Structure 1
């Protein structure tokens, strides 16, 4: 008897078993498969006085800020944080029927430096654009659409706001209600 399993051949004769196989070397780096958005039915909107499922205090702690205020909440939430002498503007948005490709195209059209990444198993990207201060958004496919955190260091040209935007995006994707 012979069975073929992939490239391995097995031959059984009486009580004796013979196994033969072959190997092949493949170039490249191993990567986890992305089977689409891991949470297609999840809602990341404004719920129970939380934007993106995060409380104001969670946002403050995540970015190591001393103070936080939220001047606007709704379809888009805006925050002002104070970290030492630094003033940081934040904006959270979740578009229930949005598309990651559309958001990426818009960021590129506006002259942003787009970097592809994966955050908490979600396809994502950052978009860095320093016009009125160091600014970056981190955007991911989530639920039925896309969510995004925009971080801008007010009146600063240095620093890396993408780190803070990614932290908020990760915290949002990990959050539970």
Structure 2
């Protein structure tokens, strides 16, 4: 009975010793921080694009649900797999991670540029498209899907137009 307790105490001690204290100098690897650029601009709520602009660009009737929160907005038409458009704004997050994620789930990404800002566009089956545009350490992202319904407009055309409006209105 004593041996397991002693082994547990020794294991915890070794584990804690490996964590180091605050006063210890960090290695040169830890102290080198990548600085890919400055923070991006303020995009405004929902990318500074209003509900009517999203509806007319998306070429659908009325939205049944519109969500606005601290990270973005989503406009939805009825149904679990129904059409939707979303805007997200990522502060201090690498756009490459978003692009890689799209490619990993079967949406090959193409390089794009909007008003001098690099980004990517990724699509599948003419029903879904996403556009991400980089601004220093930040990026904004528009995603358009027609879900299980036939598209009423080109999803990449919609995402591109909405991204252009956002960039035009940045502060």
The TM tier, using the shorter chain, reads 0.5 to 0.7
Q: Which has the higher strand share?
A: 1
Equivalent residues, number? 131
Please list the CA deviations of residues 53-110 of structure 1 after superposition, one character each: whole Å capped at 9, or x if unmatched: 112122223334442354311113110259xxxx631111011112122211111111
User: Greater relative contact order: 1 or 2 (C-alpha under 8 angstroms, separation 6 or more)?
Assistant: 2
TM-score, normalization by structure 2: 0.64
CA apart distance, 1:126: 0.7
In the TM superposition, 1:17-28 aligns within 5 A as none
Runs of 4+ aligned structure 1 residues displaced above 6 Å come to none
Q: What 5-or-longer segments of structure 2 have no aligned partner?
A: 1-35
Please list the CA deviations of residues 114-152 of structure 1 after superposition, one character each: whole Å capped at 9, or x if unmatched: 11110121101111134xx81110110036411111100
> 1:41–1:126: structure 2 CA closer, same or farther, 3 Å change rule?
closer
RMSD, matched Cα: 2.8
> Using the alignment, how far apart are the partners of 1:156 and 1:62 within structure 2?
17
Q: What 5-or-longer segments of structure 1 have no aligned partner?
A: 1-35
Show the counterpart of 2:47: 52
Show the counterpart of 2:67: 72
Show the counterpart of 2:168: 174
CA apart distance, 1:157: 6.1
SS in 1 for 2:75: strand
SS in 2 for 1:73: strand
2:145 is the counterpart of 1:146: no
Show the counterpart of 2:41: 42
> Using the alignment, how far apart are the partners of 1:162 and 1:88 within structure 2?
14
> 1:41–1:124: structure 2 CA closer, same or farther, 3 Å change rule?
closer
Q: Which has the higher helix share?
A: 2
